[in-house]
Amino acid sequence: MPQLISITNIKDIPSLSASFHFKEDYSAEINAIHSTKNSFNDSLSTLTLLFSLLDLTSLEGSDNNTKIERLCDKVLALDAVPDIPSIAAICVYSPFGKLVANKLKNTSIQTACVAGAFPSGQSPIEIKLQEIEWIIQQGVTEIDVVISRGKLIAGYYQEVFNEMIAIRSVAKNVTLKVIIESGELQTAKNIRIASDIAMYAGADFIKTSTGKIAEGATYPTVYIMLHAIKDFHKATGRKVGLKPAGGISTVEIARNYLILTEQILGRKWINNQLLRFGASQLANTILYQLATPLNNPQLINYFKNE
């Protein structure tokens, strides 16, 4: 569990200060970064890097043990394929946490479950805590929990902060990723405040989206979150990771997030301890593009039916 930053008054959180300046349009800054020379011009190395940063996700109402076990088996079978790195994690609903944890035992791949009344977050905190405690008992190593954005939008910042502190207290020995659902927060102010509250409450990662609403990760949202992480690291010395998720279906989009991360936070953030991508389609796209340079046709549509 990370050392919590002692906050006696949530107004000590930078974005809750009356003097904090919010800006809504970052398009010029983002365009400038994307046109800057970067480290991701080599196609093969960028593809394999992106694959190593994936939280491969299956979060459908139709999920069942057979489907999830097949997904795990396909992931594990890639160990025998030269030049394909392991993904970072497999992320599923809580009933499948124990199954995935058992399948991934003795591998470097983490078992992640969504929690906190995912995707809406609309549940009493007591129920959320019980859910998280139960999930951890299943052997899960990572929790992707949704923040109470309805309360945050209404301005109940102290209540949101208290909830996140309580969640961190029961999720002591797992990686905690906090989903802010930026597509519902909408404004730069809400996105920055949600990011700050999550980090000061002990989040290991801040994550853009559930993938369950129309708007997932966007460049402006990620830009705001990266600067929140940068400011938090400067103020506290603690590194927090970023997880863009939702709508990241092409390599070009994912590569642009790599560029933003490297330019704002530095190369030291480009690893799966500090950067993840929540995706389902992206894994298949990456493997499809790797099939030719690796002379391995079995990679084409590898996860098509998963």
Active site residues: 144, 207, 243
Beta sheet of 175-179, edge-to-edge order? 241-243, 205-207, 175-179, 142-146, 110-115, 89-92, 54-58, 277-279
Cβ count within 10 A of residue 149: 22
Give the separation between CA 204 and CA 142, rounded to whole angstroms: 10
DSSP string, the chain: -PPPP--SSGGGSGGGSTT----S--HHHHHHHHTS--S---HHHHHHHHHHTEEEEE--TT--HHHHHHHHHHHHHGGGSTT-PPPSEEEE-GGGHHHHHHHTTTSSPEEEEEESSTTTT-S-HHHHHHHHHHHHHTT--EEEEE--HHHHHTT-HHHHHHHHHHHHHH-TTSEEEEE--HHHH-SHHHHHHHHHHHHHTT-SEEE---S-SS----HHHHHHHHHHHHHHHHHHS---EEE-BSS--SHHHHHHHHHHHHHHH-GGG-STTTB-EEESHHHHHHHHHHHTTTT-GGGTTTTTT-
